[in-house]
Amino acid sequence: MDKRILTGDRPTGPLHLGHYVGSLQNRVRLQTEYDTYILIADVQALTDNYEHPERLGANIMQVALDYLAVGIDPEKSKIVVQSMVPELTELTIYFMNLVTVATLERNPTVKEEIKQRNFIKGVPVGFWSYPISQAADITIFKAHLVPVGEDQLPMIEQTREIARRFNRLYEKVLIEPRPMLGQIARLPGTDGGAKMSKSLDNCIYLGDTPELLRKRVMSMYTDPTRIHPTDPGHVEGNPVFTYHDVFNPAKDEVEELKERYRLGTVGDVEVKQKLYEALEKFLAPIRERREAFAAKPETVRDIIIEGTRRGRAVAQSTMDEVRAAMKLDYKFT
C-alpha cells in the first residue's frame, strides 16, 4: 500500500462515541486500503496531565484497548506511542520556525479547547504549540489522509500550510494531507453541548457497562420546550434523535418515533429506552472484545511495542530526508 493514514488520540482516558463517529469508524474501514498509523499522543496529553504524568501509562492501555475493541487490526494498523518516537520532537522544533504566534492564536480549535479547559494560571506554551506538534505527527509519517472530527479541520489546514512552506523553503519532502470527516460532522454531548468532552462529563464511553449506559441515556438532554409527554416536541437539534439516526439501524422505528414525538404521542422515556436498546446492541460486542483483550495485557503491550517500532522506523526515514533538505545532515562525530 503506497498511501498512508495517520490519526490518533490523546490518552486522557477511555474513548467515547464521539471518537467513534469522528474518526474511529473510518480508521477501521480504511485500514485494509491504506498503510495505517494510529498515534497515542501522550506528549500532547501532558498539557492536561503535567501535574500527574503517572496517569498516562494506564491511559495508554485504555486507549489501546478501545482501538482493538472496535476492530483495529494490529496486522494492518500500527499503534504508535508518541513519546517513544523522539524524532517527532525534533521535527516539532524545526516547524516552530515556520509558524507565527499570531497564527496559533487565531486557530479556532485551540481557542475552543482553551475555553473548555479554563486555564487559571495562563495557557501553557505546550498547549499553544499543539498544532505544530500535530503537524509533525502527520507529516513525519507522510500521511495522505487523516480521519478526523469536524473540530480538527483547522488543525489539518495548519498542517498543510506548514508542509507547504517547508517544501517551498527547502525541498519537496513532505506531503500535504487531506482530512476525512466521519459519518456525521460532530456528535453532541449527552447534555446537549456541541460535542462530547471528558472534561464536560457528557460522554458515553465505548466500554460503559449496560447499567452505566442506561443511566447516561436516561439522563440525556432532549427538548427543553416540552413540558409534558403529550406536548408536541422538536426532533431537530434533539440529541436523543441525533443518536438514533447514527446508531439505531431500525430506520422505520426511528421515523415512527420522530413522527409521534412531533405529535406529542410518545414520551421521552420510551424514546430513550429505544435508544438504550440500540446502543446496547451496538456496544455489547465492542465491550466483549475489550474485556477479552483486557484479560491479556501482555499481548496488548506487545502490540503497542511492535507498532511503535515500525512507526519509528518510518519517522527515522522521513527525518533523514528532512535533515538533508535543510542541510542539517552534517556530522562532527
Q: Quick one: cell of 290? A: 475489550
207-290 folds as Tyrosyl-Transfer RNA Synthetase (1.10.240)
**What CA–CA distance (Å, rounded) separates 33 from 165?**
29
Q: At what angle do helices 210-218 and 268-294 cross, to 10 degrees?
A: 150
User: Which pLDDT value is given to residue 63?
Assistant: 96
Q: Mean pLDDT highest for which of 38-47, 90-99, 107-116?
A: 90-99
Query: What pLDDT digit, counting tens, does each position of 241-284 carry?
Result: 999 999 999 999 999 999 999 999 999 999 999 999 999 999 99
| CB 139, CB 91: distance < 8 Å | yes
User: Which pLDDT value is given to residue 148?
Assistant: 86
Residue 222, CA distances (Å) to 123, 219, 276 in order: 34, 9, 14
4-188+297-325 folds as Rossmann fold (3.40.50)
User: Which pLDDT value is given to residue 194?
Assistant: 78
What is the residue-averaged pLDDT of the chain? 92
Q: What is the rounded average pLDDT of the residues 100-109?
A: 87
User: Which pLDDT value is given to residue 17?
Assistant: 94
pLDDT surpassing 60 at residue 292: yes
pLDDT surpassing 80 at residue 184: no
**What are the counts of helices (DSSP H) followed by strands (DSSP E) for the chain?**
15, 5
| CB neighbour list of residue 313: distance below 8 Å, 6 or more residues apart | none
Query: What pLDDT digit, counting tens, does each position of 188-222 carry?
Result: 999 988 788 887 889 999 999 999 999 999 999 99
User: Which pLDDT value is given to residue 88?
Assistant: 97
**What CA–CA distance (Å, rounded) separates 189 from 28?**
23
Query: Please, which pLDDT band fits residue 314 given cuts at 50, 70 and 90?
Result: very high
Domain borders along the chain are 4-188+297-325, 207-290
User: Which pLDDT value is given to residue 236?
Assistant: 93
pLDDT surpassing 90 at residue 81: yes
User: Which pLDDT value is given to residue 78?
Assistant: 97
User: Which pLDDT value is given to residue 120?
Assistant: 62
| CB 194, CB 188: distance < 8 Å | yes
Query: What pLDDT digit, counting tens, does each position of 9-54 carry?
Result: 999 889 999 999 888 999 999 999 999 999 999 998 887 777 888 9
Q: At what angle do helices 130-140 and 297-325 cross, to 10 degrees?
A: 90
